[in-house]
Every structure is written in C-alpha cells, then in structure tokens.
Structure 1
Amino acid sequence: MKHKKLIIFAVALALLFIIGTFLSQSVFLKTVLAKYKSTDHFVLFGDDPRIRYERPAEENAIALKQILNGSQAQVESILHSRFKKPIEVYVCSSQNSFNEYVFLSKNVKGAVYWGKLFLSPGAFSQNESRLAELTTHELTHYLFYTHLGEKAHVENIPLWFREAIAVFVANGGAYYTKDRNLLNLISSEEKQAFLSGKIDFWFASNNPLDAVTKNGTANWLLYRVGALFVHFLRDSQPGKFDELIQLLLSGTKFNAALEVTYGKNTEALLREFAQYLTT
C-alpha cells in the first residue's frame, strides 16, 4: 500500500512538472505576461515625451534622440499620413529585458507590441544610419497601429505586407529605386529564392514565427524580397500604390484594397513580379 502511494505521488509530481514546463513555454501565457508587464520603471527622457528608457540605457536614449525626428518625418512623408497617437519608444537596458516584452523574437533589435515600440541594446550596436533605419522600420508598424489598433492591423493586413512596407519605408520609399533599375537591386540569392517557390509560403502566412529565424532574429531574406515586391508595385503604378496605402490606413482590408486599386489579387501581382524578374 505504501509502495502504491509512492508511485501515485511520483506520477503526480511528474505531471505537475510537465504541466509547469508547458505553461512556462506557452505562447498564450507569454502573450499575457508581456501584455501586462509594467513599463512604469522606464524613465522619461528629458523633455521628449516620445522616449523612455531603463536607467542603465541613458546613452542609448541620447542616441535615439538624435535620429528620432528624422525617422518620424520619413515615415509620415512616405506614407502621406501622420501618427494618430503619441509615439512611445522604450529603450531596454538588456536583451533579457527586451525579450520579456517581445516574447516571440528573442534576438531581434526592435519591435512594436501592445502599442509600444521597444528597442534592445542591439539596435544601438551599429552606426547611426542603421539605428535610423531600424527605428524608421518600427515606426512604420507603429503608424499603422495608431490608425488601426492592434487587432485590425493584424487581421486586415497580411504579415508579409506589414513587414515589407516597413522595409520599403526604411529604404527611403520611392527614392530607393530612383534612377535605378530594380533588377540591379535584387541579389541572385533573393531572386532565386523567389522564383524557385522556396518562399511562397511567406505570402500566405499569418504565423509571426515565420518572420524570425530559428535563432530568433528577423528573417531578412523574407523581409527583403517582400519589400522588393512592394517597390515593384509602387514603381509600376505610383498613384495606385498611394491609394492602396490610404485605403489600408482607413481600415479597408488588404485584399479588397488591392482589388480596388490594382484590380488584381496578390497571386496575380506576384506572377507579374516573377515575369518582370525573368525578362
């Protein structure tokens, strides 16, 4: 009898351990913890209400201050729209701190979650132009969020376009391809990945995990090819592209906005892009 009780106790402990391990890794649990984790300890940077930082990261907050006006202006100019809510950028003092707020992407340098833009120390590890590029990328996400809210931003606009438009804006928008042929801007690796069908899944995915590599870093190949496709859409019909962006910001769902402006769906436009790359 005593032996039987010991077995039952051991099994119960094992089950508790398994359940505890599962919960600790649960995306749902991490989502809840990230959403409600307080940012009250972040310090307001001087007289700039847009910047908040953890105390050991004051130097990074200073660096952000130097480029933030330019990044904000670039986003608003290229998208022909303004932020509908105040910008809030949180400068984390460590990657671990950043990861507690950005639970899906353990090694990325910046992300927008729950209406807040977070930057990790890695965002400041390179030169000022790279910091500006990253900040502009994330502010693009943030502008869409301020117009649509968290739910509609994710549900109305496919993952690939959310990332592609952010890269497009960070590239400088139309200026990136001015007086340059798009064919000369795509690498052989990027071209092969697209034409081979290797990354077809990206244009149909709703899984945010697809946006990062196994190491938790941004999957730059997917971002880059998606952005080049967006550049193609803009360069082929600038007026329709600008109309597309305004429809999206007004709350029109992506597929409907694409039909209204280009008169085609994503698949048809991807085929046109493939044809362009093979001419």
Structure 2
Amino acid sequence: MNLSKLSIAIISLFLLIVLLSSCSIIRQSTAMMRSTDHFIAHNKDPRVLYEPGAEIFADSIVAILPQSIQQIKNRQYRHFVEPVKVYVCASKESFYKLYGVKCKAGVSNKLLLSPRLMDEPQNIQLYLAHELSHLHLYQQLGLLKMRKLPAWLKEGLATLVSDGGGAQTVSENEATKAIINGKHFMPVTGGFFGCFNQKSSADNALSHHMRYRQYMIFVSFMKDKDEKEFKRFLLSIQNGVNFSVSLQKSYHTTLGQLWQDFIKDLNSKG
C-alpha cells in the first residue's frame, strides 16, 4: 500500500514537472509568434530596432553594438551566420509579451532587451554581450537543438564571453569558495529538448548570479585546460554535434571525469 502511494506521488510529481515545463514552453512559443512590425529601425544603426518611447535606450545600444558583436565573434570562434538584430522594448509589459518570461533580456527567435536594464546602465554592455552569445548559438542550432544543450554550458559560455554578464553580484572568489565547500551545481549533459536534464536540482538551490558565476568558472576551466580543444569542442557544438560526442572527441574524457578534474584543480589552488 505504501509502495503504491509512493508510486502515485512520484508519478504525480513527474506529471507536474511536465505540465510546468510545457506551460513555460507554450508561453514562450506564443510570445515568439507576436509581431514586432511596430519596432522602428534606428537611423544610425538599423540592426537596432526599438519601440516608440525607447529612443534613449536604443541610442545606448547603438553605441556599444559593433564592439559587442566583434567580442562574441572572436570568443566563440565564428561569425554570426545571419544579420544581427536587437529589439529594444519600451516597457516591461511589452518585453514580457514578446519574450514570455519576466527578466531583463533574452533570446528566443529574437534578441529582446527590457527597459529594466536602464536601472543599471553600467551593466547594459554585459547583458548585451551575454545575449549575443545566445543569439550566436541560436542562429546556428535553432531553438530545439539549443534547448538540448545543458544550462551550465549555454549560460557559462555566455557569462564567460561577456566578462561576467548575468553574474555581476557574485565574485569569482565567492563562487569558488562555495564550490569547494560543496555548495555547487551538478553538471548534466542536457537533452529532451530542454524539458528535462538541462540542469540538476542542485542548480536551483543556488542564487541566479551564484549559479551563473559557477557555470562560468567551469567553462573557463575547460578553456584554460586546453584552448585548442575548447575551440574544437565549441565549434563541434555549433555544428550541431551531440554534446557528449563533442566532449569525447575534443577532450577524450567524460563529463563526470572532467568535473572531477575541475574540483581537484580548485582544491589544489586552495
């Protein structure tokens, strides 16, 4: 009887997770279909499109976009395969309507920026570069293959190549100490279109910025270990090759072993 109740509880939890994941995907899919025809191309850089009322915000993006694009091309080892467009929203409500998630910036089929970023102008370039990293991958992989990638890789890479965008409130030293003390995310290989196995339950126990900083440190370790192999790995991912296959062909190891090497390296540095 107890086993039966436990089975029911497990199945119920599984179905709840499926439902919540589906709701999120449906909400974002609906947002993606909404028109952006009312956005205006900036007269100084038509790659920046803005809603009426977001002129000042758009001006700030125009000033930093060329440098940010070049930064991502250099650090992710490949040109953007499609023209870059940045959509600057005039209100938080408009951003949510077009993106489907309440946050500061995001990429679905478009790179969208919320005016919430105007509250922290010193971080706008960090966020822009972070989202350009996602756009760079999205253009090559498409939405479904992007969802298959593990969160730690997508967000860790974006945080690394943007010089810390999305993790500003947590220092590398703080994140390293947390990892050494056992308060860290657990790397997974991704899969199932992002509904499951994108990140572990341990990830959710961390604050957003702590999580992203830890992701970044792990991806940075991969790069520092052997940049030639890191480049090979990242280009393989961009070519649409399976994560585990890309890792094995580049580093000749498994994710589990790579993580053990990472922890050993951190402990050796104290």
TM-score when scaled to structure 1?
A: 0.76
Distance 1:100 1:210 in 2: 29
Residue matched to 2:173: 187
Cα offset, 1:28, TM superposition:
4.8
Q: How do 1:1-279 and structure 2 match up within 5 A?
A: 26-104=23-101, 106=102, 108-113=103-108, 115-128=109-122, 130-155=123-148, 157-171=149-163, 186-188=172-174, 190-201=175-186, 203=188, 206=194, 219-279=208-268
Distance 1:169 1:140 in 2: 7
Distance 2:182 2:176 in 1: 10
Distance 2:163 2:29 in 1: 34
- Counterpart amino acid of residue 260 in structure 1: K
Distance 2:93 2:229 in 1: 43
Larger deviation, residues 131-140 vs 202-211 = 202-211
Q: Is the 8 A contact 2:72 2:133 kept in 1?
A: yes
1:222-266 residue CA offsets vs partner (Å, 9 max, x unmatched): 111011111111111111111111111111111110000101111
Cα offset, 1:154, TM superposition:
1.9
Residue matched to 2:5: none
Cα offset, 1:31, TM superposition:
2.8
Q: How many residues align?
A: 235
Cα offset, 1:164, TM superposition:
0.5
Q: Is the 8 A contact 1:109 1:120 kept in 2?
A: yes
Residue matched to 1:10: none
Q: 3-state DSSP class of the match of 1:225? A: helix
Cα offset, 1:88, TM superposition:
1.4
Q: 3-state DSSP class of the match of 1:55? A: coil
- Aligned pair in 2 of structure 1 residues 28, 68: CA closer, same or farther (>3 Å)? closer
- Aligned pair in 2 of structure 1 residues 146, 29: CA closer, same or farther (>3 Å)? closer
Q: Is the 8 A contact 1:202 1:222 kept in 2?
A: no
Q: Is the 8 A contact 1:51 1:90 kept in 2?
A: yes
Distance 1:170 1:209 in 2: 21
Distance 1:32 1:145 in 2: 15
- Counterpart amino acid of residue 222 in structure 2: L
- Counterpart amino acid of residue 122 in structure 1: R
1:137-178 residue CA offsets vs partner (Å, 9 max, x unmatched): 1001001111111112222x2121000000110118xxxxxx
Distance 1:209 1:266 in 2: 14
Q: Which has the larger radius of gyration?
A: 1
- Counterpart amino acid of residue 133 in structure 1: L
Distance 2:241 2:133 in 1: 18
Q: 3-state DSSP class of the match of 1:136? A: helix
Distance 1:219 1:44 in 2: 33
TM-score when scaled to structure 2?
A: 0.79
Structure 1, unaligned runs of 5 or more: 1-21, 173-184
- Aligned pair in 2 of structure 1 residues 60, 261: CA closer, same or farther (>3 Å)? same
Identity among equivalent positions (%) equals 28
1:68-88 residue CA offsets vs partner (Å, 9 max, x unmatched): 000000000111200011111
Distance 1:209 1:54 in 2: 35
